[in-house]
Structure 1
Amino acid sequence: MSDVVAVDAQSGQPGLSQVERVVDTFIAPSKTFTDILRSTSWWLPFLLAVIVSIGVTFTIDRQVGFGRVVENVILDSPKQEEQMQSLPPDQRAARMKGMSAGYKYVSYATPVIILLISTIGALVNWASFNFGLGAKTTFAQMFCVWMYASLPRLLSGLLTLVTVMFGGNAESFNLKNPVGTNPAYFMPDATPWLKTALSFFDVIGIWNLILLVIGTSIVAKVSRGKAAAVVVGWWVLIFILSVASAAMTS
């Protein structure tokens, strides 16, 4: 999390503070991403992600319970529900207990998962821009861009908190799609592959994608069009693989 300074020809002006970077990500993102050329410090967005993710997990644990979460996940997957129903009662209970514990531990480990996903995403973007487009950006810059571009996803966590605490129904809570920011949320009876496809057209997810395009364009010093070709290109590939996987396993 240390500040890695990149000397910039325009470095005569004072840089942004971490708080200013976070605020500007929402209202003037180009300022935040330009400041990454000066410093690749990313501790504040990660700290905010840790606080929100642990808060969401704790609230779900208390208000819904991971036993109920697993039941809803199984009900949402016809094939998985069929497999569970075919088990003897004692094996079914043991399987449910194990899955509940697994979901709980993984949920509380979300900060580690955030770091892992951010590292992979930043590495893929760094390689794509440097080897694909001949850019001269660094992994640290791409990692920092990823962290700040992901800030809108905190809103999903906050909306989940509000929904679970004040208006949630434990019997219909879906851990994979907890709030109505995409069409799939409003189509619970759709086929798994269709719900997977629709979930990609998420307002907050698209916002995150746009910020990635802006940020990578600035730190890699390429046009927005080229940045979009890389970022959106990977998004399309993940979309296709995810939908295909849902279709084959449903």
Structure 2
Amino acid sequence: MNDQAVQPAGEASQGLTQLQRVINIFAAPSKTFADIKAGHKSWWLPFIIYVILGFAFYGVVNAKVGMRQVSENQIKLSPKAEDQMAQLTPEQREQRMKISTAITQGIFLGTPVVLLLMGVIISAVLLGTINFGFGGKAKFGSVFTVWMYAMLPSCIKTLLGIAVLFAGTAPDSFNIKNFAPTNVGAFLPTDINAGLYSLATSLDFVTIWTLVLVGIGTAIVAGTKRSSGYIASFGWWALIVIIGAGLAAAFS
């Protein structure tokens, strides 16, 4: 008899710990994704990291800027929104600002739910693209786990945003939609063409890093060429960027 235990059918063999997978995302991402493909689909550690950093960022923004100021800054960045506010009575403006501030705060506090919903939607789209478009054999759980780990570079952006706030950013110049200097738009004046500014902010090294990881991971768990994963991740991103720039130009 062979002394090695026989692995029961359908049961994943022992692989990396979640901490090892988190570390490997930055050191050797293929190892993390191969481990996911082998059946290890736990994703709660990166999710907890996102939630902790998200609430930490919320706390710093609330202390250094304030939710009302965050909302006011977004209105200032939109000429149409400013014009609409100018046409309201003082009482109406105050009511509008209360609603806007509450929505902004609600989005921050709803970070865990937003993360999960985004993960489900994006994973479903990627799953359909890689399987039906490129003949992959991925499972939803694997793609969802890939997405959760591939998002880890976003933590760097959050930490940079916190550092920027502690460095003394003026509250009235803080832009919640572009809070860290990780993209081209961060170095451009905010009063340029809205569509151009939207495109510039999309050229973000953290976003591109994440898309590369998504492409690698999706291809590995689907058993396709890596180029197929890149086409799936960057293709959808490019479409969203173009639509976003068009909407920004039309409604700013």
- Shorter chain as denominator, the TM-score bin is over 0.9
Counterpart amino acid of 1:196? Answer: S
More divergent stretch after superposition (184-193 vs 66-75): 184-193
**SS of residue paired to 1:36:** helix
TM-score for the superposition, normalised by structure 2: 0.92
Distance 2:25 2:235 in 1: 23
Q: Which moved more, 1:160-169 or 1:61-70?
A: 160-169
Is 1:221 aligned to 2:223, yes or no?
A: yes
Residue 34 and residue 7 in structure 1: after superposition, are their counterparts in 2 closer, same or farther (change >3 A)? Answer: farther
Percent of aligned pairs sharing the same letter: 40
Q: What RMSD, in angstroms, separates the aligned Cα atoms of the two structures? A: 1.4
- Out of 201, 205, 208, which is 2:207 matched to? 205
Deviation at 1:65, TM superposition (A): 0.3
Establish whether residue 61 from structure 1 lines up as the match of residue 62 from structure 2.
yes
Match of 1:89 in 2: 90
Q: 1:6 to 1:241 in 2, by over 3 A?
A: farther
For residue 244 of structure 1, what is the amino acid of its counterpart? G
**Residue of structure 2 equivalent to 1:231:** 233
Query: Deviation of residue 167 (structure 1)?
Result: 2.6
Give the C-alpha shift of residue 207 in structure 1.
Answer: 0.4
Partner residue in 2 for 1:240: 242
Q: What is the 5 A alignment of 1:99-118?
A: 99-118=100-119
1:133 and 2:149 are equivalent in the alignment: no
Contact 2:119 2:144 in 1 (8 A): yes
Q: Give the CA deviation at 1:7.
A: 5.7
Aligned mates of 1:242, 1:134 — CA distance in 2:
29
The 8 Å contact of residues 149 and 211 in structure 1, kept in 2 or not, is answered as: yes
Amino acid at match of 2:186: Y
Q: TM-score, normalised by structure 1?
A: 0.93
Contact in 1 for aligned 2:80/2:251 (Cα 8 Å): yes
- Distance verdict in 2 for CA 1:6–1:182, change over 3 Å: farther
Q: Is the 8 A contact 2:153 2:209 kept in 1?
A: yes
* Contact map agreement 1:7 1:37 (CA 8 A) in 2: no
Larger radius of gyration: 2
Query: Retained in 1: the 8 A contact 2:214–2:233?
Result: yes
SS, match of residue 141 in structure 1 = helix
Q: Is the 8 A contact 2:130 2:228 kept in 1?
A: no
Structure 1 stretches lacking a partner, 5+ long: none
Partner of 1:143: 144
Report the Cα distance in structure 1 between the residues aligned to 2:177 and 2:46, rounded to whole angstroms.
22
Report the Cα offset of residue 133 of structure 1: 1.6
1:139-218 matched pairs, under 5 angstroms: 139-187=140-188, 188-218=190-220
Q: Which piece of structure 1 moves more, 25-34 or 230-239? A: 230-239
Deviation at 1:6, TM superposition (A): 6.5
What displacement does 1:168 show? 2.0
Counterpart of 1:216, as a letter, is: T
Distance in 1 (alpha carbons) for counterparts of 2:75 and 2:15: 50
Could you list the runs of 5+ residues in structure 2 that have no partner in the other structure? 1-8
Counterpart for residue 27 of structure 2: 27
Q: 1:232: Cα distance to partner? A: 1.2
Aligned-partner residue type, residue 196 of structure 2:
L
Where does residue 45 of structure 1 map in the other structure? 46
Residues 72, 172 of structure 1: 8 Å contact kept: yes
Q: State how far apart, in whole Å, the 2-side matches of 1:246 and 1:72 are.
A: 16
C-alpha distance in structure 2 between counterparts of 1:50 and 1:200, whole Å: 23
Following superposition, the deviation at residue 122 of structure 1 comes to 0.4
CA–CA distance in structure 1, aligned partners of residues 120 and 191 of structure 2: 35
Aligned residues: 242
SS at 1:24 equivalent:
helix
